[in-house]
Structure 1
Amino acid sequence: MAQRQGWSRRRKWAVGLGVPLALLLLLALLFRWDWLIPIAEAQASAALGRPVTIQHLHVSLGRTTTVTLEGLEIGNPPGFDADRPLAAVPKLRVALDAMAFLRDRSLVIPSVALEQPQVALRAQEDGRNNYSFPASEAGSGGPPPLIGALILRDARVHALLAGLKADFTVALATEEPEGEPPRLLARAEGTYAAQPITAELRGGAILNLRDPNQPWPVELRLANGPTRVNLQGTLQDPLAFGGANLRLDLAGPDMARLTPLVGVPIPPTPPFRVTGKLDYAHEEGAFRFTEVAGKLGNSDLNGAFAITPGGERPVLAADLASRSVDLADLGGFIGTTPVQADTPGATREQRRQAAREEASPRLLPDTPVSVPRLRFADIHLRYRAAQIKGRGMPFDSMEMRLDIDDGVIRLRPLRFGIGQGGIGTTATLTPQENGALRAQAEIELRRVDISRLMQAAGAGGAGTLGGVGRIDSTGRSLAELLGRGDGALTVVTVGGNLSALLVDLSGLQFGNALLSALGIPARTEIECLIGDFGLRRGQLSVQTLLLDTDSYLVSGGGEASLARETLDLWMKTESKRFTIGSLPTPIGITGRFKEPSIRPAVGELAARAGAAAGLGVLFPPLALLPTIQLGVGENNRCEALSEAGRRRGR
């Protein structure tokens, strides 16, 4: 009896254990990893914020566990084509180091292989795109995964980016030379910034982060329209762009064409070529272009750039210098064409634009400033030029500090060196709601050496020039700002040679004609020249214009319209020693700024000249003495003219 009871208990235990074991064995035999697809899809969709679908899932367990996904698709966000997903991967194979995970929970991925992946990047005019993923709310806090190699087979990426006017395709593949680590090969073709683009990239083992002692080689050649980019060197940490030892070479007909490539607006320039070292500063999150050396038109360019993307606006910081600069190369910063019709390397369009400006009756640049472009990035620029060259250029050196913050431009200051003195300008330009700029600027000329002006013009001379000026205006271009401005300008010259000053600074033909009309002999020495001008709504009025030489006293008056670029001036010569040929006859200077004409003043212009002389308003008031002394120092002759004006005005 007892024996039968024992047997019965053993049979119950055997049945109790055997049935579950049999069920587990049956489950193992019948188990399909596809049963876990809904869980994997849900987790991936939640992490990416996009619909994720998987057709098949298989896992091969072992020391190196292999996970294979088939028919993987990552969908688009709302508002994009649902029939063409962001990414479609027929087969994805990931190798995981299971022992490393069990040992210290580190995630080591020896390889990732993708078969024929297709990616469709889309960006709309309003800035929305299908490739920006929501940021993770909570990170793991652990180290990033170590990825050995990414193997791509027949990969295609098609980018259609409306804001960048881009439509190009990138073909990517991994070359696997026998006995060598895999290498990346990528080729791009299409359009970018409405210009044809072609590119070829050759790299090392993709994402090879497991051996930091093996730098990742990079060789990139890119052509976007006429712009050429070459990048060559190595990266120590390719995912983080760390440990960069790269040389970047840029060349093209106009730096403005780099704007869509670098993400920062750049004014038009003449043909350029620069080379330098490219790296990434992790602390600041900035891409740095250092040891820059190159040419910009007829000027050399050296220094460093740093671009910090992200944030509300990208930030460009630059510290640049030139040993020798032609100011015409910087014309794009004020709205003029920075090339001449004969500039080497200029494009056909640049030559046509230069010819149009040359043929235009207008002198002042009227290219509108793009306020949205100003607000696109914050810019902090320091620039120094040791020598300034160019036809008839009077300046010796230049120094500028420019800051653009949220579209507000600040020059503090812009200085031109001339001999022992110089010209300094401080200015603030603030964007207005109507798309114009509010400009407030001051200018100071302090003890400018006239001999330096004369040497630049190929002539001799001596003396000192000084003065102050200011302007307050609103407009969309330099021409509008001057044509609508309010302000004043006072200039003072002591010493020098009248013939050299008028002929060499105003142009040979016009200067000679002016001297002849005034009846003044050549090489007359200047004792004092004072000009005091007022600006009201773009109308420049001559309040005082007086030139005192050793034998003559020349006075002037009238107005000039900066908006219409027209002249309505008169000048009159009085000899200090009466002769039969010294009877005063005023002359008129009329016409446009670009083509002034000189003839005897008649009618209203002559009447105004006589009335002004009779009232004694031509002599400088004593209030100008501080300006005279600031600009040129104490000068008895200029002070005597001011005293004469005070006596005549009683």
Structure 2
Amino acid sequence: MATRRAWRWGLGVGLPLAALALLALLFRWDWLIPIVEAQASARLGRPVTLQHLHVSLGRTITVTAEGLRVGNPPGFPDDPPFAALPRTEVQVAFRPLLSGQVVIPAVTLDNPQVEMIGRADGSTNYALKLGEPAGEGAAPGSGPQIGALRIRDGRVHAVIAGLQADFAVNLNTEEPQGQGQEPALLAEARGTYAAQPITARFRGGAVLNLRDAERPWPVELHLANGPTRLDLQGTVRDPVNLAGADLRLEVRTPDMALLSPLVGVPMTATPPFRATGRLDYAGGRFRFTEVEGKVGNSDIAGAFTVSTGDRTDFTADLRSRRVDLADLGGLIGGTPGRAGTPGQTAEQRRQLARAEASPRLIPTTPINLPRLQAADIHVRYAADSIRGRGIPFDGLEMTLDIVDGVIRLHPGKFRVGRGEISADATLTPQPDGMLKASTKIELRRVDVSRLLAAAGAGGAGSLGGVGHVETTGRSLSEMLGNGDGGLTLVSVGGNISSLLADLSGLQFGRALLSALGIPDRTPIECLIGDFGLRNGALSVKTLLLDTESHIVTGSGIAGLGQERLDLRLRTESKHFSIGSLPTTIAITGSFKDPAIAPEAGELAARAGAAVGLGVLFPPLALLPTIQLGVGENSQCERLSRSGQGKR
């Protein structure tokens, strides 16, 4: 009986153990391949195939996959696949699994191959829904903790039509030199990007996801894309989430427009640009802060941020201690910079030479609407001082927003002495590719001395004024040539040297000043200018300068589209004398090359009839129709109400 029970117990225990042992001997991990393939395919949304799978159990579980292929999405060829990994080995720590943590001490990839394809229609084979980096807000310890990554002869080949890119990246890990060290990640890229040659060298740390703040991940990148150079060096505490970054970035390029394909944001043309600053990532945005650099002859400082969401969003908050307005010419479609600026390319020098030789002053380059609609842009900019030949401005403030292609300047302000000229503008894209523009202009106590100093004259006092323009067009020149609107200016006290005489004196010297009989400096009693704009023709409705002893009036038209001048200025003394004969000055020619001279035959005709001359006054009957309210000059108000001047 006892023997029989022992046999039964032995069979009851031994058989299951034997069965388990037999199962272990006969079990093939390849039997799990269909499950692995199904789950991986569902997670990636791609066909995933695997040839062999092996698992070695122990304190560290070693999973080896052979012949792993991740296919392309529908519409792309099956061969080559998106990714091919001939052999992958993953080590998983057993004990952390018991508490729900995934710790992967090491991953080894042998000869991994990746093919990235981006077509002209925008479709790609590399858009995998793996989630976005969380940046500074990443939860500590979230996700698997991956230790050493070893790559042997890896290669990524990218052909992306939208980026005009065809380049290859070779990936390897450098085995540690000392005990206890981990392999460093190395990458070298070569090919073309944005239709420019690209080369890059990258050296990173040994881990993919290190959350130990005491062991930051080192990063070193040197990139050349055409003439553009980027150098990045520093550390990242959590590379997968791009958190805890302490990186210094240096950028050098002959034109900021060349950075557009690198940052995904349309940028205007500029003179040579260089900057250094701190780069990090937080809240879904790359941030380039503590920036210091130069654009052409202008210094620049501040911060840039670029989003990484479905729609690119670019924000810049910038300041210059000193700016040359020529460096900002690209904002209005002009050729930026000045000849001789260090770092200019041969093409930039040719462009500046063509712009200098061109008879046109206003930019005719069409504004690129598709590029403007590619991203939302928000820029705040301030300049403490402005330099430039003939520039009357002392400072600049600008707030610019581009959202869904709609441009808003609200406002742009130029400081002129203690006053300012401000503009509030909205430019809206139209279905036919044109831009519809609406602009309001306001002058607040603009310093006359600063304006006249730019014209080579002197004076004092200030101006107030209001204006507006409604127009459509593809370029600044076309919009001005189609514009409708008006401008009213009124003086607020002061005195003036005879601008008319100074301009005439450019050709005829001080003798003409004496002949006109206007003192070098005389008080202003009233200055009113009322200008109408219709179909690009700026007409002088009323122009009156009333001084102690003289009256200057004006008439004529300036064609903004064709950039042609046909203006007349007339100076007359309030008290007739032989030494002060009235005459008319004609301002003709182009905006870029105006001609200023007395009208032909005017002086001779007036000299013959000098005894019979009286004082001719401006069309004062028009003054009551001018809407003032932009200055503080009671004399101008009295002239407007009475329609009469001094005699």
**TM-score with structure 2 length normalisation?**
0.89
In the other structure, the counterpart of 2:151 is 152
Structure 2 residue 271 is the aligned partner of structure 1 residue 270: yes
Give a deviation string over 1:380-407, Cα, whole Å, max 9, x none: 2211111111222211111111122211
Deviation per CA, 1:29-72: give whole Å up to 9, x if none. Answer: 23222222122111111111111111111111111010001111
Cα-to-partner distance string for 1:246-300 (whole Å, 9 max, x where unaligned): 111111111111111111111111111111111112xx32211111111111111
Tell me, in whole angstroms, the C-alpha distance in 2 between the residues paired with 1:326 and 1:595. 22
How far apart in 1 are the matches of 2:161 and 2:193? 10
> How far apart in 1 are the matches of 2:530 and 2:461?
19
Moved more, 449-458 or 172-181: 449-458
Q: Which residue of 1 aligns with 2:87?
A: 91
What amino acid is aligned across from residue 437 of structure 2 in structure 1? A
Residue 585 of structure 1 deviates from its aligned partner by 5.0
Q: Are 2:443 and 2:466, in contact at CA under 8 Å, matched by a contact in 1?
A: yes
| 2:445/2:462 contact within 8 Å kept | yes
- Alpha-carbon distance in 2 for matches of 1:619, 1:534: 17
1:165 aligns with 2:161: no
Question: Within 2, Cα distance between the matches of 1:13 and 1:118?
Answer: 56
Q: Which residue number corresponds to residue 346 of structure 2?
A: 348
Q: Is the 8 A contact 1:394 1:453 kept in 2?
A: yes
Q: 1:479 aligns with which of 477, 480, 484?
A: 477
2:589 aligned partner:
591
Query: What residue is the counterpart of 1:130 in the other structure?
Result: 125
CA separation in 1, counterparts of 2:160 and 2:592?
45
For 1:40, the equivalent position in structure 2 comes to 36
Question: Partners in 2 of 1:647 and 1:521 — Cα distance?
Answer: 18
Supply the AA of the counterpart residue of 1:261: L
SS of equivalent residue, structure 2 residue 163: coil
Structure-1 residue corresponding to 2:633: 634
Gaps of 5+ in 1: 604-612
Deviations 1:130-163 (A, max 9, x none): 1112468xxxx99311111211111111111110
What amino acid maps onto 1:322 in structure 2? S
Instruction: Provide the aligned C-alpha RMSD in A.
Output: 3.0
Q: Which amino acid aligns with 1:345?
A: G
Contact 1:500 / 1:523 at 8 angstroms: preserved in 2? no
Identify if the C-alpha distance between structure 1 residues 109 and 160 changes in structure 2 by more than 3 Å, giving closer, same or farther: same
Aligned partners of 2:163, 2:510: CA distance in 1, in Å? 54
Equivalent in the alignment of 2:108: 113
Q: Which residue type is aligned with residue 113 of structure 1?
A: T
* 1:305 pairs with 2:301: no
With 115-124 and 351-360 compared, the bigger mean Cα shift is at: 351-360
Shift of 1:340: 2.1
**Cα distance in 1, alignment partners of residues 266 and 486 from structure 2:** 33
Kept in 2, the 8 Å contact 1:398–1:416? The answer is yes
- Corresponding position of 1:30: 26
Shift of 1:437: 1.4
Alignment coverage as a number of residue pairs: 621
Residue 75 of structure 1 is matched in structure 2 by 71
Secondary structure (helix, strand or coil) at the match of 1:34 reads helix
* 1:618 positional shift: 5.7
Counterpart residue number, 1:330: 328
Q: Which amino acid aligns with 1:468?
A: V
Q: CA–CA distance in 1 between the matches of 2:40 and 2:329?
A: 54
Q: Quick one: which of 343, 362, 380 aligns to 1:382? A: 380
1:243 aligns with 2:244: yes
- TM-score, normalised with respect to structure 1: 0.88
* Structure 2 CA distance for aligned equivalents of residues 507 and 479 of structure 1: 29
Q: Secondary structure at the match of 1:413?
A: strand
Deviation of 1:242 (Å): 0.7
Is 1:624 aligned to residue 620 of structure 2?
no
**Are the equivalent residues in 2 in contact too, given 1:93–1:113 (CA < 8 A)?**
yes
CA distance in 2, matches of 1:467, 1:100: 75
Name the stretch that deviates more: 84-93 or 201-210.
Answer: 201-210
Could you tell me how far 1:92 is from its partner in structure 2?
0.2
Query: Kindly tell me: are residues 280 and 134 of structure 1, through their superposed partners in 2, closer, same or farther at Cα, counting changes over 3 Å?
Result: closer
Per the alignment, in what secondary structure is the counterpart of residue 41 of structure 1? helix
> Residues 477 and 526 from structure 1, CA distance in 2 versus in 1: closer, same or farther, beyond 3 angstroms?
farther
Q: CA deviation at 1:212?
A: 3.5
Query: Are the structure 2 counterparts of residues 259 and 216 from structure 1 closer, same or farther at C-alpha, using a change threshold of 3 Å?
Result: same
Deviation readout 1:420-442 (Å, 9 max, x if unpaired): 21111111111111122111111
Q: 1:70-109 CA deviation, whole Å, 9 max, x = no partner? A: 111111111222111111111100001112112x121111
Q: How far apart in 1 are the matches of 2:501 and 2:122?
A: 56
Q: Match of 1:465?
A: 463
Q: In the alignment, is the contact (CA less than 8 A) between 2:284 and 2:307 conserved in 1?
A: yes
Give the direction of change, closer, same or farther, for the CA distance of 1:421–1:211 in structure 2 (3 Å limit).
Answer: closer
**Which deviates more from structure 2 when the two are superposed, residues 30-39 or residues 119-128?**
30-39
Post-superposition offset of 1:18: 6.3
Alignment partner of 1:563 out of 550, 557, 561: 561
Percent identical pairs in the alignment equals 59
Which of 48, 56, 67 aligns to 2:52? It is 56
> Structure 2 CA distance, aligned partners of 1:73 and 1:514?
91
1:205 equivalent in structure 2: 206
Separation in 1, partners of 2:512, 2:314: 50
Aligned partners of 1:555 and 1:618 also within 8 Å: no
User: How much has 1:342 moved relative to structure 2?
Assistant: 2.3
Q: Specify which of 512, 520, 525 is matched with residue 523 of structure 1.
A: 520
AA at the equivalent of 1:90: P
Contact 1:308–1:316, Cα closer than 8 Å, also in 2 = yes
- Write the distance in 1 (CA, Å) between the matches of 2:554 and 2:589: 17
What code does the residue aligned with 2:63 have? V
Q: CA deviation at 1:480?
A: 1.2
Compared CA separation, residues 620 and 9, structure 1 to 2 (3 A)? same
CA deviation after TM superposition for structure 1 residue 343, in Å: 2.1
Q: Separation in 1 of the partners of 2:541 and 2:4? A: 128
Unaligned runs of 5+ in 2: 132-138, 602-614
Residue 190 of structure 1: aligned partner: 191
Matched to 1:469, the amino acid is G
> What are the Cα deviations for residues 503-527 of structure 1, in whole angstroms up to 9, with x where unaligned?
5xx7984797997799465725362
Taking a change above 3 Å as real, the CA distance of residues 501 and 233 of structure 1, as seen in their structure-2 partners, is farther
Preserved contact between residue 90 and residue 116 of structure 1 (Cα < 8 Å): yes
**CA separation of 1:558/1:392 partners in 2, compared to 1, >3 Å: closer, same or farther?**
closer
Q: Is the 8 A contact 2:68 2:85 kept in 1?
A: yes
Q: Distance in 2 between matches of 1:520 and 1:535?
A: 34
Map Cα deviations across residues 352-371 of structure 1 (whole Å, 9 max, x no partner).
Answer: 11111111121111111112
Q: Determine the C-alpha separation between the residues in 2 that align with 1:135 and 1:88.
A: 18
Alignment check: 8 A CA contact 2:295 2:327 kept = yes
